[in-house]
Amino acid sequence: MKIDISQAYLYGVSDEAARELVEWRKAIKKPLTQRAFERALKEAVKCLDLGITADHAIETEILNLQQLVTEIHVSDTALDYLLDLAAETRKARHGLSTRGVLALKKAAQAHALIEQRSFVTADDIQAVFVAVAAHRIGLSEAETLHVMQQVKVS
């Protein structure tokens, strides 16, 4: 469904912020309907009454979600799986660093949040591993799939 953002300016929301809100909601698999978008714009007006710009309110919502990500539980079993994957990447080349493992953990937590769970599963880790490993150490998809095949999920 295409959202008409042309009226966002009436609520004090820039086109850019309106587009970002729509895209962000698509990215977390909770797309807005036109009606929900208009409700969000009306909430932006309330923010203006409090002296907060609509753009700032949208940024604040995104920051709040980033905070929620850190509250997603990662069990010892999931952490062990993360560390086992990292150890396996180190067998061939330079492998995932500590920061890479932390990025993988946070990405898995974000995936769990998107899937509306309060805990990380091996599926969350696997869902983001290819992207994180490609970004952090330049592994190809085939190489990351090979790494995942070598590490057993406990």
pLDDT tens per residue across span 96-112: 889 999 999 999 999 99
32 neighbors 62 (Cβ within 8 angstroms) = no
1 neighbors 33 (Cβ within 8 angstroms) = yes
Q: Set out the domains of the chain in order of their start, with CATH numbers.
A: 8-70 (no CATH), 76-150 (1.10.8.80)
pLDDT tens per residue across span 126-151: 999 988 988 888 878 888 788 888 88
pTM, whole model, 2 decimals?
A: 0.64
Query: What percent of the chain has pLDDT above 90?
Result: 27
Torsion of CA 9, 10, 12, 16, to 10 degrees: -20
